Amino acid sequence: MAAQATGRRRQRKTRIVATLGPATSSERMIRDLFHAGVDVFRLNMSHGGHSDKESMIAAIRKVEAEEMRPIAILVDLQGPKLRVGTFAGGRASLRQGTAFRLDLSEAPGDDTRVGLPHREIFDALTPGTHILLDDGKIRLAVETVSADAAGCRVEVGGILSDRKGVNVPNAVLPLAALTEKDKRDLAFALKAGADWIALSFVQRPDDVAEARKLVAGKAAVMAKIEKPAAVGELDAILELADGVMVARGDLGVEEPLENVPVIQKHIIGAARAAGKPVVVATQMLESMIQAPSPTRAEVSDVATAVMDGADAVMLSAESAVGEFPVEAVRVMDRVAERVEREPGYLGAGQTRINPNATAEDAITAAARQVAATVGAQAIVTFTTSGTTALRAARERPAAPILTLTPRLKVARRLSIVWGLHTVKTRDVVSFEDMVGKAKRMALRHAMARGGDRIVVTAGVPFGTPGATNVLHIAWVQGNELEAVGS
């Protein structure tokens, strides 16, 4: 990826994640989605096979090379999804107040019972535990439990069909964080060069630790917060994960719906305080699966996530199987850009994060303040590991952030982070080289013009990961681009 190319710079700071699927698997659609505003492509391992994903990844990398902009690939593992067995006739009717049994039998179910092929669940159940079926549409209360069955009472009835999902909101289930399928999918994703790995149904910090051990630094790890147990362990999970996702689908099943907006704000605030990227996902523009325009409520939902300071907002079925995937991305792009133009955007609902008592945080916080004071047109960060750039984004400065890194892998990972325009370029070797490159790249990427000021942060010695100890104010001259080198 040539440093000389300007590439496509987003005018908004909030990033867009789009899920690829049958509606958007072609190279042409991936290119159209990128042009519409996608920064990160999500591959959902719950659907399709490895060959499908291989062709998607190849198309993404081709578009990346053409556009000369780093694009992140997020592989979302299925996780230990719990499902009931099958029914004679494919479905059963559960009536309120009647008895219903979950057991380990593989025999087809009926109106009185069905198989639940997860022995470990019965070990975690106690009388009084509630079990939700089919995304919470059906609610059971456990009355009796044995090693291989649970006798329940139907509190909310309905029609239950084959292999519908099971949620147990108030229990930490003794399930492995990664299933055998997840491990196969993870090996595939790492070999294919995925930038982010998303973990589904995280319950405890150990789940993240197990995944990090397997990933071994080859990708960044994102914990999906979709269970009450994970909300309760959020700080510990954030310490281990590289980022988090507010996965509102299952979270809205296991938590009362009125709790979800408050939890979303809490997760965004905690992630920002930790300096970790946070993605808000699920049903953001749900009506656009079948309609060319969203509802007003959906637009407000996207706007709220942007206003709260989320790093990224995500499309799921809207872009994977929807009839209007490109239009959905354009709506997100317009909404985010409009919200960010509001004069009070960075203050409305966004808590100012106090820097930690470290030299690195002090320099980064000062960069935001200095840029505002002197009217700098951009903050330029040099980073080897991405840490300096993450600190800069954590401050949520009004000035755009130009991030320069010699590592393509780092540039791709940072594509999901708020406000960063990341460029892969040669590393610098001296202070004079740093200042000169910062000015040239700010000009080349239209983030400054002759006569403008920029604020530069870096770590010395150059190339030392995580060390941010230099802050410099530089004047940009119109002839900087005439200098040799990039």
User: Which residue among the candidates 31, 61, 83, 330 is catalytic per the annotation?
Assistant: 83
Annotated catalytic, 224? yes
**Is a pLDDT exceeding 60 seen at residue 6?**
no
User: Which residue among the candidates 13, 224, 424, 439 is catalytic per the annotation?
Assistant: 224
Per the prediction, the chain carries an average pLDDT of 93
Position 176 scores a pLDDT of: 85
pLDDT, one tens digit per residue, over 115-154 is: 999 888 999 999 999 999 999 999 999 999 999 999 999 9
pLDDT, one tens digit per residue, over 291-341 is: 999 999 999 999 999 999 999 999 999 999 999 999 999 999 999 999 999
**Strand 72-76 relative to strand 196-199: parallel, antiparallel, unpaired?**
parallel
Predicted TM-score (pTM) of this structure: 0.93
* Tokens matching residue 277: 């990227």
Exposure on the CB side of residue 428, measured as CA atoms within 13 A = 25
Exposure on the CB side of residue 352, measured as CA atoms within 13 A = 9
pLDDT, one tens digit per residue, over 79-114 is: 998 999 999 999 999 999 999 999 999 999 999 999
Identify the helix (H) or strand (E) that includes residue 107.
none
Backbone angles phi, psi at 236, to 5 degrees: -70, -35
**Is a pLDDT exceeding 80 seen at residue 4?**
no
Of 79, 140, 136, 137, nearest to 114 (Cα)? 140
Position 264 scores a pLDDT of: 97
Position 3 scores a pLDDT of: 39
User: Which residue among the candidates 14, 24, 129, 282 is catalytic per the annotation?
Assistant: 282
Backbone angles phi, psi at 406, to 5 degrees: -85, -5
Give the separation between CA 113 and CA 474, rounded to whole angstroms: 72
Position 352 scores a pLDDT of: 65
pLDDT (average), residues 155-178: 92
Name the band, by pLDDT with cuts 50, 70 and 90, for residue 466: low
Annotated catalytic, 42? yes
* Tokens matching residue 211: 């995944």
Of 245, 248, 196, 256, nearest to 223 (Cα)? 245
Helix axes 387-394, 359-374, angle to 10 degrees: 50
pLDDT, one tens digit per residue, over 20-49 is: 999 999 999 999 999 999 999 999 999 999
Annotated catalytic, 113? no
Position 349 scores a pLDDT of: 55
Position 481 scores a pLDDT of: 60
Question: Domains in the chain, start-ordered, CATH in brackets?
Answer: 15-80+177-340 (3.20.20.60), 91-167 (2.40.33.10), 359-482 (3.40.1380.20)
Give the separation between CA 380 and CA 398, rounded to whole angstroms: 13
Q: 356: which residues sit within 8 A by CB, 6+ positions away?
A: none
User: Which residue among the candidates 13, 15, 42, 248 is catalytic per the annotation?
Assistant: 42
Position 158 scores a pLDDT of: 98
Position 461 scores a pLDDT of: 83
Max Cα–Cα distance, the chain, nearest Å: 81
